[in-house]
Amino acid sequence: MRSVEDQQIKVTAAAVAPRPVRVAISEAQGLLCAEDVVTERPLPGFDQAAIDGYAVRSVDVSGAGADIRDEDGHPIDLSLPVVGEVAAGSRQPIRLQPRQTVRVDTGAPLPTLADAVLPLDFTDGGRARVKVYEPVRTGDYVRRIGDDVQPGDLAVRAGTIIGPAQVGLLAAVGRDKVLVHPRPRLSVLSVGGELVDIDRTPGPGQVYDVNSYALAAAARDAGADVNRVGIVSGDAKRLRDVVEGQLVRSEVVVIAGAVGGWASEQIREALEGLGELEITRVGMHPGSVQGFGRLGRDEVPTFLLPSNPVGALVVFEVMVRPLIRIALGRRHPMRRIVKARTILPISSIPGRRGYLRAQLMRDEQTGEYLVQPLGGPNGASSHLLATLAEANSLIVIDPEVTEVRTGDEVRVAFLAQRG
């Protein structure tokens, strides 16, 4: 029996990242940047108002708020004439003269000689003449040219996951396209004479094709570009033709079907000549028996997963998902592992690493992670898909551990939800 670690090494060694491609920035979200994006122009490209208000010379309003009186002792209001208005996007240059002000909108270019913006709250909001209640200093409420980014600065570094902020920055520096590591293409198909698609009513001895839908969703969640082939006849020639067709269009192929005994031998014989598909027993449960090989001219990583949907999804999580994440260029392809205390006892099969579905939660008072195993007493009923749907994590039980008591600490892989 091969260990989980040895099988993972064998699988991940076959990961090949697709060549970087240049895509529109609107299509780049979630992908890994494959280049250093160096800015060519400053951002912002001109001195601009950071707030609605009045562009001023700070020296002209320095006395605002002070107790200034005339010769007869009467208070003197500080006010300035408003000689114009500049909206955001204006291209009309304005030169500010001493003891004058111009009304400006947020983002508007600052008039020549203005060195500050007086917020509306610091004034009476006058249109022809404005009273000033508080002073401002040079640079107040102004976004100077190059404050955000200077020419030659790195806007987005290679290896950065492109999210909304990165898309916005790329747009801000004038980049309409960016070089990224594309999503690996994955094809998934189901094999089994008992399968019918969900648009048909199962007859005696027939079941819905769950695997091609569930595995396609898992692959998309991992970041792959998925082609769900659906049900493929077990006829050797038909199966070979379909798989051979997918090998030329995919970086990964996943076949869900029987992996043990005569049925798996049929599949292996049908694909003979395309490469070696090794069916082996791995020290894990569920999904101990699984197949992997590199098929076709390009040696495409190809998986044979159990027909049991829970086993298929667990093997996908442990073996296929890391390969997809590596192909995407992610530095940390494995799920985040946390330590948690179990609130129920757990039994595990000796000699195999257990991956038991569970609900991970956190104690509000102590902040400690707690985990509840699902699937019946002691983690039984490993075939039940409904409990996997309820799970947000997998408890990972080491091969030498057969019993876990209530309150014991266990390792938990958090199945983070996207969206």
Reported as a single tens digit per residue, the pLDDT across 160-195 is 999 999 999 999 888 999 999 999 999 999 998 889
From residue 112, alpha-carbon distances to 43, 91, 94, 101, 115 in Å are 19, 13, 6, 11, 8
Strand ranges inside 53-93, DSSP E: 53-56, 79-86
What is the pLDDT averaged over residues 257-274? 80
pLDDT of 68 strictly over 70: no
Q: Both tokens of residue 124?
A: 């009476």
CA 306, CA 191: separation in Å to the nearest integer?
10
Instruction: Of 347, 281, 351, 290, give the one whose Cα is nearest residue 315.
Output: 290
Reported as a single tens digit per residue, the pLDDT across 39-66 is 888 888 899 999 999 999 999 998 887 6
Reported as a single tens digit per residue, the pLDDT across 186-197 is 999 999 888 999
Domains of the chain with bracketed CATH: 4-18+183-328 (3.40.980.10), 21-43+148-181 (3.90.105.10), 48-143 (2.170.190.11), 337-414 (2.40.340.10)
What is the pLDDT averaged over residues 119-146? 93
Query: Where are the alpha helices (H) located in 223-254, listed in sequence order?
Result: 236-247
| CA gyration radius, the chain | 32
Q: Taking all residues of the chain, what is their mean pLDDT, rounded to a whole number?
A: 89
pLDDT of 74 strictly over 70: no
Per-residue confidence band for 70, with pLDDT thresholds at 50, 70 and 90: low
Residues 6+ apart with CB under 8 A from 186: 219, 224, 225, 226, 227, 250, 251, 252, 253, 254, 324
Q: State residue 377's pLDDT score.
A: 45
